Copies of this chain bind each other. A is one copy, B any other.
Amino acid sequence: MRRAFATALLSTLAVTLAAQAPAPPPIYGFNDPAKQRALEQKFDAAMNPADLRAWMERMTSHPHHIGTAKGKDNAEFMASLFRSWGFDTAIERFDVLFPTPKTRVLEMVAPEHFTAKLAEPPLPEDATSNQTAEALPTYNAYSIDGDVTGELVYVNYGVPKDYETLERNGVDVKGKIVIARYGASWRGIKPKVAAEHGAIGCLIYSDPRDDGYFEGEPYPRGAYRSDQSAQRGSVADMPYHPGDPRTPGVGATENATRLPMNEVKTLTKIPVLPISYGDALPLLRALGGPVAPNDWRGALPITYHLGSGPARVHLQLAFDWNTVPAYDVIARLKGTDLADQWVIRGNHHDAWVHGALDPVSGMVGVLEEAKGVGALAKTGWRPRRTMIYCAWDGEEPGLLGSTEWVETHADELRQHAVAYINSDSNGRGFFFAGGSHSLERLVNEAARDVVDPERKVSMLERRRAADLAFANSAGERKELRGQDSLRLDALGSGSDFTPFLQFAGVATLDIGYGGESEYGVYHSIYDSFSHFMRFGDPTFDYGVAEAKTGGRMMLRLANADFLPFETTTFATTVGRYLDEVKKLADSMRDETEELNRELQDRAQELASDPTKPFVAPKAQAAVPHLEFAPLDNAVAHLQRAARDFDKRGATPGRDATLMQLERALTRSEGLPNRPWFKHYVYAPGFYTGYDVKTLPAVREAIEQRKWGDVNAQIRATAEVLENYARMLEKT
């Protein structure tokens, strides 16, 4: 589902050098690292890229979105593999709402007539692209039905600040149909914000500036999006809650109570359709009104205007509102002395169409990893803790399979789960990882111990090199040089880690490789085996690398003498987030003062061109100084407690505390206005969708200028950190 490669690479940081000394470095959590290292060497010996290739070719031979026979077949195939490797394997079924299109009509009715093609043509160079009868057409899942006609308005990425710009240009979207380009936010934000501003319909297109020929030659000449290719995807209001729209918070099991359709909260408010840039071009070319601001302009060979009109479009959408089965594959290898501590690994198996990269590239790495664990098990070895491998169905429409499973097993997970490690799309390039910062040391040590297949240095060293080489400024390079480990990204959403981390409070990681594969076919019929073998990871070396890296993390968590969590790293990181949030408030205060001053001395108006519409921005209430002291105290307390805890090392009850620690960061009532999301350190942004907001209750109250709420959210967030600190102190 997610597109993490480039951003993951650019947004995080650097690393320790792999030690070259004769004595191998220690492994955190182990009293006898040599023994663990020998185990991992046996595990590595089982790896074979030919497996991954064969599995991918088989699993991507036909479209396999949720509800298809092929999807079920893939689940059964994987279950048979897990069983063959010695895992106790079950397929768990959930029944979930999954709309598919009956009617899709988009036409321009003025100033001239144009009917959008809404179809991705078969290509001789792409073996499975002719399976159009089996494939889902291009659409956005969980758009409502609708039949609307109206003038068109171009809204850039369709995020809240874009509507401020429209207002400044005298353009209103009320009663209009908006056309937004993909990018800058998760797609579901675009119709949500459009509807909040009174639009009656929403088109989302892939501009070639962000996703097409601007990046590289279009497929099939090159890897990138061609003019008739469109990005499918979910537009359910997932920042409100993911999973089955009819069973929020509980598993969509056979007998679950389901909301009636009219009480479902996460459908869009207006009809939404994704289109190609080939279909978008005539519409955008027909727009009049003000010329779009410089940074709104894409790579189509036109002058971008805002509208509204004279382009008028008719959008008609109708869906079959089916309930379909989701098949999750759950494979267990029972632990020995600590069998009630669960270490969980997962990747989704459903795709929008064939999904060679998204998600099969990641899934086959997880399978290879499980095969390696199975190979160890065949020698009689067993992990101390229980290892669980999962293949999720229905991730694409809304993290359905993982969410329903987590909701169903929430009580067990809260009791038993040590950690969850997710992956998704995987390709050539650089290691990336995000997640709970108590696991940062585990991640660094795993990346230190896997060799990059292209450059033959450790994954950690190569990532550090890439961070330096691609850094944008001398300041950034200096900061990177000052860091002695690879910092984990904080997790927002966009893949199956969300229910584990943000609903159940399980310590979570999301890992993978990327940055060198060329993609450009995200959620299209061309994300195929043909494409992957030219532009993805044709040797599957990085699929194996994923298995080796994920495998080390799983085996270390499962086998450790004491759980390899490091709480000081978490405490330090939260301190940085608190600094960010304070700086955010300070800079908003300065900007607000400056804006109000410019309104008072009329600078904006005096600078404006009287031949063009001028709408002054609204004056903003002054940003108050906020009562940060409770959070300051909580972070200080947390940092003291963590330092002492880590220094004490292995003590009785330590593992029991560590397992529960992440749970302490949740509050049962959830975040303000979205009770499903319970984590008070990491959440997806309510107006970004995938991108994380750390300390979300505080940060979003500030961003949304809810000055009356901020101090209460500071206290609520301080409380969870104080609880966390006290748990450390009690152990």
Contact = CB atoms under 8 A, between A and B. Distances in A.
A604 interface: yes
Interface in A79-126: none
A469 B213 contact: no
A454 B303 contact: no
Interface string A600-612: 0111111111110
B303 A213 contact: yes
A474 B588 CA distance: 10
Given A603-B469, A606-B457, A610-B454, A474 B516 contact: no
A694 to B, nearest CB: 23
Contacts of A299: 297, 299, 301
A603 B466 CA distance: 7
Contact of A468 (B213, B215, B462, B598): B598
Interface in A233-265: none
B474 A594 contact: yes
B466 A291 contact: no
A468 B603 contact: yes
A412 B465 CA distance: 63
Given A300-B301, A301-B208, A465 B216 contact: no
Contact of A214 (B222, B303, B607): B303
A462 B607 contact: yes
Interface in A596-639: 598, 601-611
Interface in A404-445: 428-430
A350 to B, nearest CB: 30
A74 to B, nearest CB: 30
A462 B605 CA distance: 9
Contacts of A371: none
Contacts of A587: 474
A606 B303 contact: no
Contacts of A455: 605-606, 610
Interface string A447-491: 000000011010001101110111000100100000000000000
Contact of A213 (B301, B464, B477): B301
Nearest to A611: B516
Contacts of A164: none
A590 interface: yes
Contacts of A196: none
A50 interface: no
A516 B609 contact: yes
B462 A606 contact: yes
A474 B590 contact: yes
Interface in A33-78: none
A591 interface: yes
Contacts of A516: 609, 611
A429 B222 CA distance: 46
Contacts of A598: 468-469
Contacts of A224: 303
A302 interface: yes
Contacts of A218: 303
Nearest to A516: B609
Nearest to A217: B303
Contact of A469 (B217, B454, B470, B607): B607
A597 to B, nearest CB: 8
B607 A465 contact: yes
A50 B570 CA distance: 73
Contacts of A465: 601-607
Interface string A643-680: 00000000000000000000000000000000000000
Interface centre among A300, A470, A587, A606 (most CB of B within 10 A): A606
A292 to B, nearest CB: 10
A371 B589 CA distance: 52
Contacts of A300: 301
Nearest to A598: B468
A112 to B, nearest CB: 16
Given A214-B297, A455-B610, A610-B454, A464 B303 contact: no
A224 B610 CA distance: 20
A532 to B, nearest CB: 15
A516 B70 CA distance: 61
A607 B464 CA distance: 8
A218 B303 CA distance: 8
B214 A470 contact: no
Interface string A297-334: 10111110000000000000000000000000000000
Given A301-B301, A465-B607, 19 more contacts: A214-B297, A215-B291, A215-B303, A218-B303, A454-B609, A454-B610, A455-B605, A455-B610, A464-B603, A465-B604, A466-B603, A466-B606, A466-B607, A469-B603, A469-B607, A470-B607, A474-B594, A477-B594, A516-B611
7 contacts: A214-B297, A215-B291, A461-B606, A465-B606, A469-B603, A469-B607, A474-B587
**Nearest 4 interchain pairs by C-beta:** A469-B607, A465-B606, A465-B603, A466-B607
